[in-house]
Chain A
Amino acid sequence: MERARPRPDALTLGVLVLGFLVLLMGLYLALSAPPDRQQGYLVRILYLHVAAAWTGYLAFIVAAVYALLYLVTNRPAHDRVSAASAEIGLWLSLLMVLGGMMWARPTWGVYWVWEPRLTSVAVMIAIYAGYFLVRQAIEDPEMRAKAAAAVAILGVINIPITYMSVYWWRSIHQTASIDLINRKVHMAPAMLAALLVNLLAFTLIYLGFVRLKGYLAARQAAKEGFDG
């Protein structure tokens, strides 16, 4: 008997459409926000760079939570969400690094420097690249899901280290503009609005992408007989 193929629902498409509309609003706010006293218009890269960084962190945390859920419940759907979230997180992190490099060249004078924040980000990307190497290397779906879950759970330990790196080892990378540690916002209100709207847009797009990836993975799992 042929199984029903999972299809993207109205919620997924709605979240994606809304995400891209909010992204347009984010562009408008970013372009109308005032220039920075020292960096001028280059500061506008921040609205994308920070939004991509935060959603990347979120994606890896979600990947770890669903990995843990998979180990507890043994439901393949949890493994699929974990893998989908880790993949989107990896793409967002690469986007964050590329945007950051474009920002670093005119402000720091170099594209890359091995300082604590950038080094911990490089480690983070290596961990999640390794996550997909593990998934590729193991053929048995159950073993693959278990090994990948272990990497996702251990890998998430690096997220708070990456976040805190700018406080623990002060170097060239600036500290957070929305400082959760000291509960302070180091931005003008118009800049903060541009950042928050872009952050919302990236979060919605991330959610939509994870759901689309989840549908694709569900179809592949049905072929492998590792669905449910």
Chain B
Amino acid sequence: MGNQVFVLVVYLATYAFLFGYLAYLLARLRREG
């Protein structure tokens, strides 16, 4: 059970990075456009 939660945290952290990077790129495009 502990391992399943740990793996889920790793997945959530990865998705947070991917969405964060997308948001960063879109924000920069909007700011400079």
Contacts and interface: CB of A to CB of B under 8 A. Distances in A.
Interface of A: 5, 7-8, 16, 20, 23, 27, 30, 40-42, 44-45, 48, 52, 91, 95, 98-99, 102-103, 106, 205, 208-209, 212-213, 215-216, 219-220
Contacts, number: 54
Given A41-B4, A212-B26, A48 B11 contact: yes
A99 B7 CA distance: 10
B21 A102 contact: no
Interface string B3-17: 110110011011101
A95 B14 contact: yes
B33 A99 contact: no
B10 A213 contact: no
B28 A42 contact: no
Contacts of B25: 209, 212-213, 216
Interface of B: 3-4, 6-7, 10-11, 13-15, 17-18, 21-22, 25-26, 28-29, 32-33
Contacts of B15: 23
Contact of B7 (A5, A44, A52, A209): A44
B3 A102 contact: no
Contacts of A42: 3, 6-7
Contacts of A213: 25
Given A8-B29, A40-B3, A213-B25, A23 B18 contact: yes
Nearest to B9: A102
Nearest to B3: A41
13 contacts: A8-B29, A23-B18, A40-B3, A41-B4, A48-B14, A52-B14, A91-B17, A95-B14, A98-B13, A208-B22, A209-B21, A216-B32, A220-B32
Contacts of A23: 15, 18
B21 A91 contact: yes
Contacts of A40: 3
A213 B29 CA distance: 9
Nearest to B26: A212
B29 A216 contact: yes
Contacts of A8: 29
Contact of B11 (A7, A27, A91, A205): A27
Nearest to A27: B11
Given A40-B3, A41-B7, A215-B29, A99 B14 contact: yes
Nearest to A223: B32
B10 A95 contact: no
